[in-house]
A = this chain, B = another copy of it.
């Protein structure tokens, strides 16, 4: 008689700690909540506006890209076919078009060879963190509150993050210096600092030109890299435009992360990284350094190989049809976001207008663009309150403390307004007003402090 195999027993305690990370587990709960209260107005969903999507665009983009390969590049049929179907260049095949876009939209000239096309910006973060964290001494600094995707990338790679304070004007440069010094005193090696310089997710904060220059000076002095993640600068209009950190970078200090999630479409999972840093080899002359991009490509070959060819071709076609300008391509979306932001600010001002006898206990920041604003409430804005808000008042938002790894932001809610109509926004802010009226006076004054 055959021996019966024994049923395999697995416990979560046997799995890598990142599967049980509290911040990420909370995000799963938030999604669940959105599913349970489909009628609620959701200021939680950070996904892009979807009103202009048309499925028929996708086959057209593919054909546009095929025609580009055939006519503009002059590839023979066999190589066109190979481009679409085979494993390809690990660094991707739309790097020239991406370089053109950076030139057209940002006036930024980069060597296309320094670009690695990645499976979304998420993979770009994973590759970069994997490259920079060699051993237990390496730490990464990050302006906090922090984009949850970056926290995730750090967790899965095992990269230790050290928070740096952020104020309305973005990362606090004094605190950055303090944190670098503190890490060094502990025998650690600060390797890089992560910032979202325009309309950060979740805070909406932006960095001034002067602070951008000061950040690069500081990074140069301290010999750390600056990781620029900038999916929202696209939605900064005319006068208010500030150069990318990468545009100010004359010394290869900035690694620039790019995304098509907020321009073409999020599902494509196409992003990129510009990593033009020369890396010297031990034992060889510094005369022939390899680009950091090429080392990241090696890591990419171990994580996902090349980025999906059809996804790249679709994005390539999208870029070509828009003369490689994402600003041109997203003009309609930019208008929606700007209109929604104005509606949010107007609604907040009207719903939380000064009332005789009631102290002004609700405040918010006023970003001049992006997809997010932060409201400070006179009571704890935690998961429990969120569920109450959803079930009782039909409005969803995101507790900010998740973006602080649970160390701050306990009275703050992130409102994202990218997928809502103006009517939904007005209704949602009214409902938020009802929640505030319901909670007022239930909390001692000290609990009302952030």
Contacts and interface: CB of A to CB of B under 8 A. Distances in A.
Contacts of A18: 130, 298-299, 302
A314 to B, nearest CB: 5
A131 B19 contact: yes
A5 B86 contact: no
21 contacts: A3-B221, A5-B219, A7-B253, A8-B224, A8-B225, A10-B279, A12-B290, A14-B132, A48-B86, A58-B62, A83-B267, A84-B265, A84-B267, A86-B265, A87-B266, A153-B303, A156-B303, A267-B309, A269-B308, A308-B308, A310-B314
Contact of A134 (B15, B54, B132): B15
A131 B85 contact: no
B85 A265 contact: yes
A303 B18 CA distance: 11
Nearest to A138: B14
B298 A24 contact: yes
A15 B132 contact: yes
A34 to B, nearest CB: 13
A87 B191 CA distance: 31
Contact of A281 (B11, B86, B122, B132): B11
Contacts of A290: 12
A169 interface: no
Given A81-B55, A119-B304, A268 B309 contact: yes
What is the interface residue range for chain A against chain B?
35 or more
Copies per complex of this chain:
2
Contact of A310 (B58, B134, B277): B58
A47 B86 CA distance: 7
Interface string A334-371: 00000000000000000000000000000000000000
Q: Which of A221, A225, A261, A304 has the most CB of B within 10 A?
A: A304
A87 B45 CA distance: 11
Nearest to A305: B122
A303 B266 CA distance: 15
A140 to B, nearest CB: 13
Interface string A205-237: 000000001001101110111000000000000
Interface of A: 2-19, 24-25, 28, 47-48, 50, 53-55, 58-59, 62-63, 66, 80-88, 119-120, 122-123, 126, 130-134, 149, 152-153, 155-156, 158, 191, 213, 216-217, 219-221, 223-225, 250-253, 261, 265-270, 277-282, 290, 292, 295, 298-299, 301-311, 314
Contacts of A84: 53, 55, 58, 265, 267
A84 B265 CA distance: 9
Contacts of A28: 298
Nearest to A271: B304
B88 A217 contact: no
Contacts of A305: 120, 122, 149, 269
Given A5-B219, A85-B267, A310-B308, A134 B17 contact: yes
A253 B16 CA distance: 19
A225 B268 CA distance: 33
A251 B5 contact: yes
A295 B19 contact: yes
Given A6-B223, A87-B267, A130 B251 contact: no
Given A85-B265, A86-B266, A119 B122 contact: no
Given A11-B280, A220-B6, A279-B10, A304 B301 contact: no
Contact of A5 (B130, B220, B304, B306): B220
Given A58-B310, A269-B307, 4 more contacts: A15-B132, A58-B84, A85-B265, A308-B310
Contacts of A53: 81, 84-85
A298 B301 CA distance: 22
Given A217-B2, A304-B122, A279 B85 contact: no
Nearest to A13: B282
Contact of A12 (B88, B120, B282): B282
A295 B15 contact: yes
